[in-house]
Amino acid sequence: MSSLIKLSDHFGYGRLLRFAAPSVLMMIFTSIYSVVDGVFVSNFVGKASFAAVNLVFPYLMFLSVVGFMLGTGGSALVAKFLGEGKSEKAKGVFTMLVLCGFVSGCVFSAVGFFTVGPVAEILGADGELLDDCVLYGRILLVSLPFFTLQNIFQPFMVTAERPQLGLIVTVFAGVMNIFFDYLLIVRLGMGIEGAGWATVAAETTGGLIPAVYFMLPNKSRLRFSIPLHDWRSLLKSLFNGLSEFFSSVSGTIVSMCFNYQLMRFLGEDGIAAYGVIMYVQFIFFAVFLGFSIGTSPIISFNYGSGNDEELRNVFHKCLKIIALMGIVISGMMEVFAAPLTKLFVGYDAELHRLTAKAFRIYGLSYLLVGFNFYFSAFFTALNNGLLSAVISTSRALIFETTAVFLLPVLFGVDGIWFSVLCAEVATLLLSALLLDKYKEKYKYAR
């Protein structure tokens, strides 16, 4: 059983998959928060409100980026301490990171309350669309401190060797989100406001339950203790998590670029089509992201303990698993493009046709995206946040933004959808160069 698996174990394929599976499922259910909102808003509120959710959501994710940074970067550092046998230091640093994350969530929640309107205007919202953006955004900001905690706890649950508990919490929060979306939107007719409060309930639950678990006595590797005033570890955690910061910043910019280009070529239908793709992308990206989160503490632990042989073993097995996942997911995108699209915009035949076509083009990128996600997370696990950031930032901010403006000049609107595939190819080449350069330093090559 996965509950008996330790970071110090030897990992075959079966053990590796069992240990990572809860994190994969956990990230899938986390992504359901936004996907469920999109389905309910699109079908029961309308296309305009659906567009509002799509426009403002990337900014809300940007405001929660410190949680991702402290979660991924901090868990890599804490797992390294555990591998070195420094368990008390690991607990003190963990407690400090959680406290810092909660405070940052409160600060960014306040900042977001005053800036969500101007940002929505910059993204092109006006009139009723702007009102919906501000309403939805400000409601979600209520739970931002708890969402930040949830993002911190997700990777730390794996480091604590309790990934299954993280999965249970996330599933419970996801089911709660679905229930309240149905109750508030369908039954009570609260529209986009109901979607916002449903997400608040789920995010608050997802942040509070793990906090209570780590506060009480438990048998895991981690629990709250007296926080260390170890600013060096805080900075190291933030530095390790640079890729998450730059990914969030880059993702916001890329979304703006996509929306700008799609508005030029297709108008409001283009933005709606992109929104549908993004919602489904959350789920499929969650598979790769969850696998990276689930396996990263193993890399960090073995790096800290100096077990180079096991580090190489896990690294090469992960690459083979990711290759298989990429083939399966890309195939699913091709086969299920029409029914997935119908779930969101089945009420509009032309929008359905447009989105299904875009789905099939976009789906080819899943053959490669898993590798790029993993390589970025791999360097974070090795406590090299700079290389991780180089990969993730180049992928979105440089390669995707360049392609989304260049390819439509050559291929029209299809060039917008192909830009993601081109960016993944370029990122994979960059990752290969970095892996070859640092293979002797980190000893992951056979």
Q: What is the pLDDT of residues 27-36, one digit of tens each?
A: 887 777 667 7
Coil, helix or strand at residue 12: coil
Distance CA 278, CA 90 (A): 37
Calculate helix-pair angle for 242-265, 47-63, nearest 10 degrees.
160
13/252 Cα distance (integer angstroms): 36
- Spatial CA neighbour of 8 closest among 233, 222, 152, 159: 159
Angle at 106 between CA 102 and CA 110, to 5 degrees: 165
Q: Per residue in 421-443, pLDDT tens?
A: 999 999 999 999 999 999 999 98
For 183-241, what is the HEC assignment? HHHHHCCCHHHHHHHHHHHHHHHHHHHHHHHHHCCCCCCCCCCCCCCCHHHHHHHHHHC
**What are 328-347's pLDDT values in tens digits?**
999 988 888 888 888 777 77
CB 152 within 8 A of CB 214: no
Residue 212 pLDDT > 50, yes or no? yes
Q: What Å distances lie between residue 194 and 230, 273, 362, CA to CA? A: 42, 23, 31
Q: pLDDT tens for residues 155-193?
A: 898 888 888 888 888 889 888 988 999 999 999 989 889
Distance CA(275)–CA(200), nearest Å, equals: 21
Instruction: For the chain, report the end-to-end CA distance as a whole number of angstroms.
Output: 29
> Which structure tokens are listed for 262?
């799609």
Instruction: Choose from 68-72, 135-139, 167-171, 238-242 the range with maximum mean pLDDT.
Output: 135-139
The amino acid occupying position 88 is E
d(CA 97, CA 320): 33
pLDDT in tens, 230-287: 888 988 888 877 777 777 677 777 877 887 788 788 877 887 788 788 777 777 888 9
In Å, how far from its chain's centre is CA 392?
Answer: 12
Q: Which of 413, 47, 59 is nearest to 261 (CA)?
A: 413
Report which of 356, 36, 321, 325 is spatially closest to residue 202, judged by C-alpha positions. 36
The gap from C-alpha 413 to its chain's centroid, in whole angstroms, comes to: 27
How many CB atoms within 10 Å of residue 336? 16
CA 307 to chain centre: 29
More confident residue, 5 or 314: 314
User: What percentage of the chain carries pLDDT values higher than 70?
Assistant: 98
**How does pLDDT run across 345-396, given as a tens digit for each residue?**
777 888 888 888 888 898 899 999 999 999 998 998 898 888 988 998 899 8
Reported as a pLDDT band with limits 50, 70 and 90, residue 298 is very high
Q: Do residues 135 and 193 touch, judged by C-beta distance below 8 A?
A: yes
Please report the pLDDT score of residue 265 as a whole number. 85
Record the tokens describing residue 275, joined without a space.
């929104």
- Per the prediction, the chain carries an average pLDDT of 87
User: What's 113-142 look like in SS3?
Assistant: HHHHHHHHHHCCCCHHHHHHHHHHHHHHHC
pLDDT given for residue 1 in this prediction:
38
Q: Is 216 left (phi over 0), alpha (psi -120 to 50) or beta?
A: beta
What's the pLDDT tens digit per position in 81-113? 888 889 999 999 999 999 999 999 999 999 999
Pick from 364, 366, 377, 363: nearest CA to 318: 377
pLDDT of residue 2: 40
Indicate if the pLDDT at residue 3 is higher than 70.
Answer: no
Determine if residue 267 is left, alpha or beta; phi over 0 gives left, psi from -120 to 50 gives alpha, anything else beta.
left
Q: Percent of the chain beyond pLDDT 90?
A: 39
What is the model's pLDDT at position 174? Answer: 84
- Average pLDDT value for residue range 201-211: 93
CA distances (Å), 28 to each of 32, 287, 341, in order?
6, 7, 18
pLDDT for 446: 67
Burial 368-378 (b: 16+ CB within 10 A, else e): bbbbbbbbbbb
What are the residue ranges spanned by the domains of the chain? Answer: 8-442
Per the listing, tokens 């709250």 go with 224
